[in-house]
Amino acid sequence: MTIAERIGSIFPTWDDIPEPYRLATPVEQREYLIDGALRRLDGAVQEVFSPVCIRTSAGQQRYRIGSFPLMTEAEALNVLAAAVAAYDNGRGAWPTMTVDARIRHVQLFAAKMKEQRDAVVRLLMWEIGKTLRDAEKEFDRTVAYIADTVDALKDLDRTSSRFTIAEGIIGQIRRSPLGVTLCMGPYNYPLNETMTTLIPALIMGNTTVLKPPRHGVLLFAPLLEAFCEAFPPGVVNTLFGMGRTVTPPLMRSGKVDVLAFIGNSKAANALQKEHPKPNRLRLVLGLEAKNPAIVLPDADLELAVSECLAGSLAFNGQRCTALKILFVHEEIAADFIARFSAALTRLGSGMPWEPGVSITPLPEQEKPGYLLELIEDARTYGAEVRNEAGGAINGSFFQPALVYPVNERMRLWREEQFGPVIPVVPFTAVETPIRYIEESNYGQQVSIFGRDSLQLARLIDPLVNQVSRVNLNSQCQRGPDVFPFTGRKDSAVGTLSVSDALRAFSIRAIVAAKELDLNRQIIGDITREHRSNFLSTDFIL
Ligand code: G3H
């Protein structure tokens, strides 16, 4: 069977789907979490269709997997009001609670979340088309992130459980929360990248409003009860609906203190502008990127091809960290293209639950058409698709396309494709990719492939001042989660890693007192009698 024939019949009939992976009952989600209760909404709903199409005698159609409520502006503002009340200007039970007690709530949530693994993994497959292996990885990585966050906070708290005396002043310095946090994750990691802002925000004492991404909403349904049971009223609240309806009014109210948003800068900028007191708003943003690979003439080609393949096509290229343009030295470009194209032919494609599958259907309805436009544009300026059936479309399925030779006149040169199109640029002088990086609006990461340590060192030194991570003979990626994840220019605001996130969602606060007998006695009384949760020498074990 040719690749084109395989793509033509890529979608299953219902009977082709193994029973354990079927989503027989659609998720008709009507509840949302507000002020510690699950309440029902009976207004307008958004129907959700899977990127997976089902073949029937009447043709093939995206499979309907459920629906969720479309909140009105007033309903959204009520959700925010619950978070504002729970924070209570820093006087609420949650922001004034001991770190130890907050940790126990988060651990309870993690235990309840783990019980929902199968349900969430299945919805990750059906809602965004993530492969079973990657969906399991996303879930498990998130659970591990929560455990690591708890450990990092214990460490942080232990070093804060002491006094510092300087210039006759006694001080205790700790980190305190910022207020009400609006957490919005992206559709490509709807669970992980929502939780990696939500959990640090919570554990530092902020109250939260969680807004799921455009795709990847239903997978939060199995977690609502866990949130409800694990956290005090108003600490976690959920918004459902169209982003453009439910989020601008929240920002406009001026009552959001932290915007944690992973997605595109257009939406982030629009939200930020709505806030009437911009200096009060803390931003934690993960935005676009166009990470390049630079493949030098002495690179280990087998390694470079395999890393560039994984880097550009894991989850169909829908990762902010994906390699989105490959600069390959012209001496090895022909060999690189031949090997990459052969590797693409071997790449498994199909439905998310099928073993060995890498390429799956795309959740964004308009994406295949957009990717095709990029290819057509590149053709106009002299590029070709260099792999069998590259760019072939069947409904929501798009066969990866290796486009070569790409140049600065093409849209693929500058637009973040966020999908399975791999632009390759041949170069003679290494100045070409360096210039590209310097002139780019983005500055997240780069991958360099080569063997000559002197040449690599000469690239590393300037490039670490242009991007936030230089990867040697390795694809770009966020993990391990203890590493700082950030970007320069339009790619990010703030740094996330297990320990950096705790800092991003808090501010240092200090209780200070002149070294007087009176103050010594007061501080002694407060700490000995455990009268304050902040001014305390308690040590978390
Ligand atoms: O979409 C961007 C993600 O943060 C990428 O994470 O490199 O672990 O896939 P990853």
CB 233 within 8 A of CB 35: yes
Q: E-assigned strands of 296-411? A: 323-329, 384-385, 393-394, 397-398, 401-404
pTM of the model: 0.97
Ligand 1 is surrounded, with C-beta below 6 A, by 188-189, 193, 319-321, 477-479
Nearest to 53 by CA among 16, 4, 2: 16
Residue 478 CA, closest ligand 1 atom number: 7
CA–centroid distance, 218 to ligand 1, in Å, is 21
Give the span between the Cα atoms of 198 and 236, in whole angstroms.
9
pLDDT at 539: 87
CA–centroid distance, 200 to ligand 1, in Å, is 18
Task: Tell the residue nearest (CA) to atom 8 of ligand 1.
Answer: 478
CA–centroid distance, 470 to ligand 1, in Å, is 15
Task: Tell the residue nearest (CA) to atom 6 of ligand 1.
Answer: 478
CA–centroid distance, 484 to ligand 1, in Å, is 12
207-211/236-238 β-pairing: parallel
CA–centroid distance, 320 to ligand 1, in Å, is 6
Give the span between the Cα atoms of 8 and 389, in whole angstroms.
11
Contacts of 380 (CB under 8 A, 6+ apart): none
Report in angstroms the alpha-carbon separations of 517 from 116, 184, 521.
55, 49, 6
Give the span between the Cα atoms of 453 and 467, in whole angstroms.
20
Residue of 319, 323, 486 with the most ligand 1 atoms within 8 Å of its CB, for mutation: 319
Residue 186 CA, closest ligand 1 atom number: 1
pLDDT at 119: 97
Coil, helix or strand at residue 425: strand
Coil, helix or strand at residue 508: strand
Residue of 140, 313, 321, 442 with the most ligand 1 atoms within 8 Å of its CB, for mutation: 321
Task: Tell the residue nearest (CA) to atom 7 of ligand 1.
Answer: 477
Residue of 133, 137, 189 with the most ligand 1 atoms within 8 Å of its CB, for mutation: 189
Contacts of 379 (CB under 8 A, 6+ apart): none
Give the span between the Cα atoms of 157 and 75, in whole angstroms.
37
CA–centroid distance, 71 to ligand 1, in Å, is 30
| Token pair for 203 | 């554990």
Residue of 287, 358, 477 with the most ligand 1 atoms within 8 Å of its CB, for mutation: 477
Contacts of 397 (CB under 8 A, 6+ apart): 7, 10, 11, 349, 359, 360, 361, 362, 368
Residue 314 CA, closest ligand 1 atom number: 9
Give the span between the Cα atoms of 310 and 326, in whole angstroms.
13
Report in angstroms the alpha-carbon separations of 445 from 33, 181, 467, 474.
37, 28, 5, 11
CA–centroid distance, 189 to ligand 1, in Å, is 8
CA–centroid distance, 322 to ligand 1, in Å, is 8
The tally of CA atoms less than 13 A away on the side-chain side of residue 191 is 34
**Over the Cα atoms of the chain, what is R_g?**
25
Give the span between the Cα atoms of 520 and 84, in whole angstroms.
36
| Token pair for 512 | 């200070």
| Token pair for 122 | 């299945």
| Token pair for 537 | 């020498």
CB 21 within 8 A of CB 71: no
CB 470 within 8 A of CB 448: yes
Burial 316-336 (b: 16+ CB within 10 A, else e): bbbbbbbbbbbbbbeebbeeb
Residue of 142, 188, 313 with the most ligand 1 atoms within 8 Å of its CB, for mutation: 188
Q: Is the peptide bond before 190 cis (omega within 30 degrees of 0)?
A: no
Q: How many CB atoms lie within 10 A of CB 93?
A: 13
| Token pair for 6 | 């395989």
Nearest to 88 by CA among 255, 238, 224: 255
pLDDT at 460: 98
Q: What is the pLDDT along the chain (541 residues), one digit of tens a residue?
A: 899 999 999 999 999 999 999 998 999 999 999 999 999 999 999 999 999 999 999 999 999 999 999 999 999 999 999 999 999 999 999 999 999 999 999 999 999 999 999 999 999 999 999 999 999 999 999 999 999 999 999 999 999 999 999 999 999 999 999 999 999 999 999 999 999 999 999 999 999 999 999 999 999 999 999 999 999 999 999 999 999 999 999 999 999 999 999 999 999 999 999 999 999 999 999 999 999 999 999 999 999 999 999 999 999 999 999 999 999 999 999 999 999 999 999 999 999 999 999 999 999 999 999 999 999 999 999 999 999 999 999 999 999 999 999 999 999 999 999 999 999 999 999 999 999 999 999 999 999 999 999 999 999 999 999 999 999 999 999 999 999 999 999 999 999 999 999 999 999 999 999 999 999 999 999 999 999 999 999 888 8
CB 219 within 8 A of CB 124: yes
Give the span between the Cα atoms of 430 and 433, in whole angstroms.
6
CB 318 within 8 A of CB 399: no
| Token pair for 9 | 């019949």
Residue 188 CA, closest ligand 1 atom number: 1
CA–centroid distance, 251 to ligand 1, in Å, is 27
Coil, helix or strand at residue 478: coil
Dihedral sign, Cα of residue 510, residue 514, residue 518, residue 521: positive
Residue 477 CA, closest ligand 1 atom number: 7
Coil, helix or strand at residue 249: helix
Residue 189 CA, closest ligand 1 atom number: 1
Residue of 141, 193, 416, 496 with the most ligand 1 atoms within 8 Å of its CB, for mutation: 193
Dihedral sign, Cα of residue 432, residue 435, residue 439, residue 443: positive
pLDDT at 541: 84
**Helix 192-203 vs helix 132-160: angle between axes, to the nearest 10 degrees?**
20
Task: Tell the residue nearest (CA) to atom 4 of ligand 1.
Answer: 478
Which amino acid appears at position 316 of this protein? N
CA–centroid distance, 533 to ligand 1, in Å, is 37
Nearest to 360 by CA among 309, 307, 312, 313: 313
pLDDT at 1: 87
Residue where the block lists tokens 């795709």: 215
CB 450 within 8 A of CB 326: no
Give the span between the Cα atoms of 71 and 255, in whole angstroms.
19
Dihedral in degrees, nearest 10, Cα atoms 85, 142, 25, 49:
90
By CB neighbour count within 10 A (0-12 exposed, 13-18 middle, 19+ buried), where does 479 fall?
Answer: exposed
Secondary structure element (H or E) that encloses residue 109, with its range: helix 99-114
45-56/59-69 β-pairing: antiparallel
